[in-house]
DNA sequence: CTGTTAGCGCCTTCAT
DNA sequence: ATGAAGGCGCTAACAG
């Protein structure tokens, strides 16, 4: 327990150099004589020196905080991405500060303003619905990256996975299991992810020579409840199907519940595939086949990308692959 | 878009007073001539002045941030509490900054240190495993409150619900449904919540004149996986039971999965009750009967309590009631 | 390469 | 009640 706060001055004296030199080795941005360097480092170590973030911030103009726009509504996937961001920032001098966009463009706008007012040094947007045009204006005022969302014209600043390919894989798995009448519960159509997954679904059908049946496609909103409704509406319309590919696990849960209520057996009567592999999916009855996205790695990559960007460094994002997790919710037929 | 940053100096000049005076009206802690007061306020308004949090913090004032120690592992319940905290702080001048304790005393300690280094004005601990003794030392160095955990000697600084009573209710529901052989899957025994719920379970049995059978009590760790194991171990030992009260929903999910694998029907053969009412519980097959805790209100209350505490104000916490959510996972027998 | 000199924006004695 | 002056801990020119 260091009773007295030791400052840059203390270590400067202790190492027989000026405060500036200490500052220099601290920021490691200006050549410093190797001997002094070591001396300083040694002193810092010995005195257990911890730079004062606040002072540093005041002097240097940056707040050492990076703003994170989160989306607290919707699938837990975004929570994990946010966790990844926190993780990616945890060993740096930066602290994240959060604001919740709730998937609402208006709220997002004001949340971003709050963040900027707080003088953040950079911005990470986790998902979000804000039109790209609104973001374009901000793009050069603050360093920023976007996770879990792909935006036209932002390619090098978006960290996300190939939703189309993953959805195609998932759908093909159903097809390969013998299913032909496959329904799709789509997420919010305004949402690029939802559209991408729908496209993947279509691509899979096309490649297998199965005609797209619009009646089998139902719009949801990524909530469990909408999954229930989707199945009810399908049943209501009397469309028949043996497989369902849901735009996310939440809707898959809802779908499964709806079937439970109707006495439709899963997977004997209908097979289900979800998307997101949220933690509970493995514990559903039956366990859900789903697409796993590397949520936390995505968040981490975003944090790293932003830091690199702020330092004008190059950053090569790690491979971010999705994986189809096969579990009992799919039945092989025929 | 204020191009140039306006500082205390600007408004001082604009209001024909000294910076000190401005500072005084800002902090509202020293008598100031009413006229000047107004003039200053007016200038601040007109110039759209926003105090620089960082400078203020450096100068020894407060950082306008409150540290939140979160627990990112474990049930989503704690996430919701954290959301509540964010919510409770959202309309104040304070911003939360987070650190993750991961339910690990060591990590918690260092996380708290990080927070304090950041010069937070107050601390909110969401859950946590840190021994009370460690906290006692901090208690008068920083204003702090604890949510979702009850600690001896901290009564007026803990925001939580009555776990014992809620667990008793839940167990009694099973008893009233005709169950006599009721198993309990306990959470981490080091965790007060786990112990409280176990106590509630015992109390219910006692009140109904049912002898406690130690064989029916299995230790878990709040994870789904441990729920699976718990049931397997029960089955292995050949203990028979018709009801299960799990220490949280996660473990209830695991229990349900284990039964699915064994071909045990729920609720026809065995009834299950969980705790936490996490979002997916309603979408289980069958939907899970569980205890709902007002997670977000708890977080909000904590934030408000802390603020009141920092201002030396009185704070009466709102009523924080749990509720047993009855769903299909319980079967009436006999 | 390195020490010196100024601040960053605000708070806080200390006189007045 | 209020101005002036001195710092909080650190960074950033500016001369050497």
pLDDT band at residue A228 using 50, 70 and 90 as cut-offs:
very high
Name the residue with higher pLDDT: B117 or B296.
B296
- Chain A CB within 8 Å of residue B279 CB: yes
- Identify the residue with better confidence: A310 or B206: B206
User: Which site among B60, B93, B137, B285 would you substitute to test the A interface, given the most A Cβ atoms closer than 10 Å to its Cβ?
Assistant: B285
Residue B61 reports pLDDT greater than 80: no
CB of A30 lies under 7 Å from some atom of strand C: yes
CB contact under 8 A, B50 and A100: no
What pLDDT, on the 0 to 100 scale, is given for residue A2? 46
Please, which residues have CB within 8 angstroms of residue B51's CB and are 6 or more apart in sequence? B8, B26
In this model, does residue A308 exceed pLDDT 70? yes
| Distant-in-sequence, close-in-space partners of B148: CB < 8 Å, separation ≥ 6 | B77, B78, B81, B126, B127, B159, B160, B193, B295, B298
pLDDT band at residue B1 under the 50/70/90 scheme: very low
CB distance A260–B285 less than 8 Å? yes
Q: Give chain D positions with protein CB within 7 A.
A: 1-5, 7-13
pLDDT of residue A3: 53
User: CA-nearest residue of chain A to B100?
Assistant: A86
Structure tokens at A305: 């990308």
Judge whether A253 is closer than 8 Å to chain B, CB to CB: yes
What pLDDT shows up at residue A53?
85
Running DSSP on this structure, what letter comes out for residue B248? S
Please report the number of interchain residue pairs, chain A to chain B, with beta-carbon separation below 8 angstroms: 84
Sheet holding B158-159, edge to edge: B95-100, B65-70, B122-126, B144-147, B158-159
Q: Residue B308 — φ and ψ, nearest 5°? A: -60, -45
Q: Render pLDDT for B188-199 as a digit per residue (tens, 0 to 9).
A: 998 889 999 999
Parallel, antiparallel or unpaired: strands A289-292 and A323-325: antiparallel
**Gap from A151 CA to chain B (nearest CA, Å):** 26
A59-80 confidence digits (pLDDT tens): 887 888 899 998 876 678 888 8
Q: Is B279 exposed, middle or buried (0-12, 13-18, 19+ CB in 10 A)?
A: middle
Yes or no, beta carbons of B253 and A287 under 8 Å apart:
no
Give the strand order in the sheet containing A95-100. Answer: A95-100, A65-70, A122-126, A144-147, A158-159
CB A278 within 8 A of CB A249: yes
Indicate if the pLDDT at residue B291 is higher than 50. yes
Residue A191: phi, psi to the nearest 5?
-90, 125
Q: Binning pLDDT at 50, 70 and 90, where does residue B3 land?
A: low
Q: At what angle do helices A34-47 and A8-15 cross, to 10 degrees?
A: 130
Would you call B95 an interface residue with chain A, using a CB distance cutoff of 8 Å? yes
pLDDT at A317 exceeding the cut of 90: no
Task: Kindly report, residue by residue over A168-226, the tens digit of the pLDDT.
Answer: 999 999 999 999 999 999 999 988 899 999 999 999 999 999 999 999 999 999 999 99
Proximity of residue B13 CB to strand C below 7 A: no
The 3-state DSSP composition of chain A as helix, strand, coil percent (nearest 5) reads 45, 15, 40
Mutation site for B-interface testing, chosen from A279, A280, A281, A282 by largest number of B Cβ within 10 Å: A280
């Amino acid at each position: 327990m260091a009773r007295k706060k030791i400052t840059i001055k203390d270590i400067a004296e202790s190492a027989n150099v000026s405060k500036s030199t200490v500052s220099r080795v601290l920021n490691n941005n200006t050549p410093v004589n190797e001997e002094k360097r070591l001396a300083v480092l040694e002193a810092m170590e010995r005195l257990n020196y911890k730079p004062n973030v606040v002072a540093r911030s005041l002097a240097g103009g940056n707040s050492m905080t990076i703003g994170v726009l989160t989306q607290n509504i919707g699938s837990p996937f975004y929570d994990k991405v946010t966790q990844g961001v926190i993780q990616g920032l945890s060993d740096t001098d930066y602290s994240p500060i959060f604001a919740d966009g709730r998937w609402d463009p208006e709220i997002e706008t004001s949340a971003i303003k709050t963040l900027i007012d707080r003088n953040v040094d950079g911005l990470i947007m986790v998902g979000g619905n804000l039109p790209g045009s609104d973001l374009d204006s901000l793009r050069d005022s603050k360093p920023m990256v976007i996770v879990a969302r792909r935006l036209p014209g932002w390619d090098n600043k978006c960290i996300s996975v190939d939703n189309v390919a993953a959805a195609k894989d998932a759908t093909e798995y159903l097809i390969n299991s013998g299913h032909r009448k496959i329904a799709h519960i789509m997420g919010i159509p305004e949402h690029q992810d939802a559209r991408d997954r729908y496209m993947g679904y279509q691509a899979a059908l096309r490649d297998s020579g199965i005609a797209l049946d619009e009646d089998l496609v139902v719009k949801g909103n990524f909530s469990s409840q909408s999954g229930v409704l989707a199945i009810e509406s399908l049943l209501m319309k009397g469309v028949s199907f043996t497989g369902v590919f849901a735009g996310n696990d939440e809707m898959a849960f809802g779908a499964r519940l709806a079937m439970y209520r109707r006495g439709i057996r899963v997977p004997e009567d209908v097979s289900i595939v979800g998307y997101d592999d949220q933690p509970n999916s493995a514990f559903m009855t039956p366990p859900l086949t789903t697409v796993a996205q590397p949520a936390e790695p995505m968040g981490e990559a975003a944090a790293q990308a932003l830091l690199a960007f702020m330092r004008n460094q190059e950053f090569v994002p790690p491979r971010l692959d999705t994986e189809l997790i096969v579990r009992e919710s799919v039945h092989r037929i025929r």
